[in-house]
């Protein structure tokens, strides 16, 4: 299975989702490869830290960029049961290339109007990719959502997303919890971080089930 995490806007937590989904997958006894196609290299730095600390399960991460990324992914797909691609937050040749071979495309957005505005262009990219990759499934994840239930931004963004028919809005909402940041700097996924943040664990576990199960 090839999962692509990407979008047209930076700062929405794509690398954090990539890392946490990869950890969930590895703990589920699946062989997983992260392909860091983002020039910022966040997932690769996290993987290096994890390897230095010899944290198990070990997760392989490689850096691949360029317009031939889809060919590299195809060549790796026979070696790994699951490939998760971190394509970063912009319309790039890496994003467009990976969309040609991905089984599922996951776009995290924050509950803001500025994030919703990027979806028109992203929908056009998906339409183009579907010409070649007819089986591509696309998902929207509300990420870094406010933890205060009194804030109505999440319900507002759900209303805006109804007009986009190319995306399936997943039920799981990932909130803006500090435990995700703490786990990242320790080379961990949030489900491994102690003391356990039960709310964060439940959120990422439910998202994992929706994407993979």
The predicted-structure confidence for 185-207, as pLDDT tens digits, reads as follows: 999 999 999 999 999 999 999 99
Average pLDDT over residues 89-105: 92
Specify the pTM: 0.93
- Chain-centroid distance of CA 124 in Å reads 20
Q: ∠ CA 168-141-204 to the nearest 5 degrees? A: 120
Q: Please give the torsion angle defined by the CA atoms of residues 33, 208, 17 and 149, in that order, rounded to the nearest 10 degrees.
A: -170
Q: pLDDT-based confidence at 150, cuts 50/70/90? A: low
**How much is the pLDDT for 165?**
78
For the cut 70, the answer to whether the pLDDT of residue 106 exceeds it is yes
Are 181 and 14 within 8 A, CB to CB?
Answer: no
Are 142 and 109 within 8 A, CB to CB?
Answer: yes
Are 26 and 210 within 8 A, CB to CB?
Answer: no
Quick one: tokens of 76? 């790796």
Are 60 and 34 within 8 A, CB to CB?
Answer: yes
Domains and CATH numbers, the chain: 2-212 (3.40.50.300)
For the cut 80, the answer to whether the pLDDT of residue 2 exceeds it is yes
């Amino acid at each position: 299975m090839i999962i692509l995490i990407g979008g047209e806007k930076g700062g929405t937590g794509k690398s954090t989702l990539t890392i946490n989904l990869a950890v969930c997958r590895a703990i589920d006894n699946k062989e997983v490869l992260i392909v860091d196609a983002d020039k910022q290299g966040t997932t690769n730095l996290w993987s290096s830290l994890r390897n230095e600390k010899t944290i198990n399960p070990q997760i392989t991460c490689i850096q691949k960029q360029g317009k031939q990324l889809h060919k590299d992914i195809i060549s790796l797909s026979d070696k790994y049961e699951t490939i998760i691609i971190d394509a970063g937050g912009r319309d790039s040749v890496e994003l467009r290339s990976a969309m040609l071979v991905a089984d599922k495309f996951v776009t995290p957005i924050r509950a803001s109007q500025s994030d919703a505005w990027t979806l028109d262009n992203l929908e056009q990219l998906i339409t183009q990719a579907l010409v070649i990759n007819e089986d591509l499934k696309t998902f929207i994840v509300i990420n870094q959502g406010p933890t205060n239930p009194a804030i109505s931004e999440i319900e507002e963004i759900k209303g805006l997303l109804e007009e986009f028919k190319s995306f399936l809005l997943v039920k799981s909402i990932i909130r803006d919890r500090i435990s995700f940041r703490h786990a990242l700097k320790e080379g961990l996924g949030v489900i491994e971080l102690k003391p356990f943040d039960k709310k964060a664990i439940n959120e990422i576990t439910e998202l994992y089930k929706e994407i993979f199960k």
